Amino acid sequence: MTASSAVTTGTLVVPDARLYYEVRGAGPLLVLIGAPMNAASFAAAAEQLATTNTVLTTDPRGHFGSPLNDPDQDSTVLARAGDLAQLITHVDAGPAVVFGSSGGAVTALALAQTSPDLVTTVVAHEPPVRELLPDAEAQRTLTDDIVATYAAGDVIGAWRKFFAQAAIPLPEPMLEQLFGGDRDPGQVTSERFWFAHELRQTTSWVPDPPLLRSIPTRVIIGIGAESAGQFCDRTSRELAAAIGVDPVLFPGDHTGFVNDAATFAARLREVLDQP
């Protein structure tokens, strides 16, 4: 492992992949994870939280610094939960509090179900648990169409459909700016893997509410205060109702921890400190 200023980086070899991770700070272990969002996406929030915690972030399998031995292998939720269990064990600072966002929230929930001894609290921020929705079948069809559109080479069209399904307004010029023209090759590779091997696997995962109610792990369902009516607002509220908890509001929208890391980190501390 090598250190750069306050960040220690490492690679954990698992049977089918190499997992890149970063560690900051000292204190109780706090993990910040996404899918497909990588360690860099959480860097600002990690810096804020590292003043009181050992903060672990990682590139999820198949993205950026965490290549798979077989790049055509699907990124299943259980595989990602297994990766996280191995990382928590490897850094030897657990058990952990795990904050997961979007696909990372699904990973965190799966970890709680499979390895509750490794995680004291899960904060699942806007998990896209589609199968809990009353219109799950229609949403499944939309997801399949998004994946097919991307596979046919219509990148902007696929993203347009994705944001429409997510109910996140994104003007056409912004779509062109973000997903058209010359783009970072690493980002394109990550995007291609997500559409082909991860999006379906994440949104089709079905949580086990009775199990989540019975394990000792505390489960908190988070929603962005600006996400009202969006796809992940709906899925999060369905999950919260299924496990019998009230959802907790966080600043911003689906990626509030990126847009205002300091405010988001303060709110996360406040939520974790509540009994």
Instruction: Let me know whether 10 and 68 are in one domain.
Output: yes
- Segment 222-255, tens digit of pLDDT: 999 999 999 999 999 999 999 999 999 999 999 9
Q: Is the pLDDT of residue 166 over 80?
A: yes
Q: In what order do the strands lie in the sheet with 54-58?
A: 2-4, 7-14, 17-24, 54-58, 29-33, 96-101, 119-125, 218-224, 248-250
Number of neighbouring beta carbons within 10 Å of residue 135: 11
Find the domain containing 180 and state its range.
Answer: 136-199
Instruction: Let me know whether 187 and 245 are in one domain.
Output: no
- Segment 23-39, tens digit of pLDDT: 999 999 999 999 999 99
Helices (H), the chain: 43-49, 77-91, 103-114, 136-151, 155-166, 172-179, 185-197, 199-203, 209-214, 231-243, 256-259, 261-273
Number of neighbouring beta carbons within 10 Å of residue 141: 11
**DSSP one-letter code for 18:** E
Q: Is the pLDDT of residue 62 over 60?
A: yes
Q: Which pLDDT score, from 0 to 100, does residue 5 have?
A: 53
- Residue 263: CATH number of its domain: 3.40.50.1820
Tokens of 30: 């706090």
Using alpha carbons only, give the angle 249, 84, 1 rounded to the nearest 5 degrees.
115
Of 152, 167, 199, which marks where a domain is finished? 199
Given a contact cutoff of 8 angstroms between Cβ atoms, the answer to whether 202 and 130 are in contact is no
Instruction: Let me know whether 108 and 232 are in one domain.
Output: yes
Instruction: Let me know whether 87 and 219 are in one domain.
Output: yes
Closest CA to 83 of 99, 60, 106, 62: 60
Number of neighbouring beta carbons within 10 Å of residue 16: 12
Which residues, including other chains, have CB under 8 Å from residue 20's CB and lie 6 or more apart?
Answer: 9, 10, 11, 39, 58, 59, 64, 65, 66
Instruction: Let me know whether 125 and 158 are in one domain.
Output: no
Instruction: Let me know whether 21 and 98 are in one domain.
Output: yes
- Segment 202-220, tens digit of pLDDT: 999 999 999 999 999 999 9
Instruction: Let me know whether 161 and 185 are in one domain.
Output: yes
- Segment 118-158, tens digit of pLDDT: 999 999 999 999 999 999 999 999 999 999 999 999 999 99
Phi, psi of 76 (to 5 degrees): -80, 160
Instruction: Let me know whether 231 and 127 are in one domain.
Output: yes
Tally the domains of the chain. Answer: 2
Phi, psi of 270 (to 5 degrees): -60, -45
Instruction: Let me know whether 127 and 142 are in one domain.
Output: no
Tokens of 81: 């939960």
Closest CA to 223 of 132, 140, 128, 112: 128
Instruction: Let me know whether 29 and 142 are in one domain.
Output: no
Prior bond of 171 cis (ω within 30°)? no
Instruction: Let me know whether 188 and 240 are in one domain.
Output: no
Instruction: Let me know whether 98 and 185 are in one domain.
Output: no
Q: Which pLDDT score, from 0 to 100, does residue 122 have?
A: 98
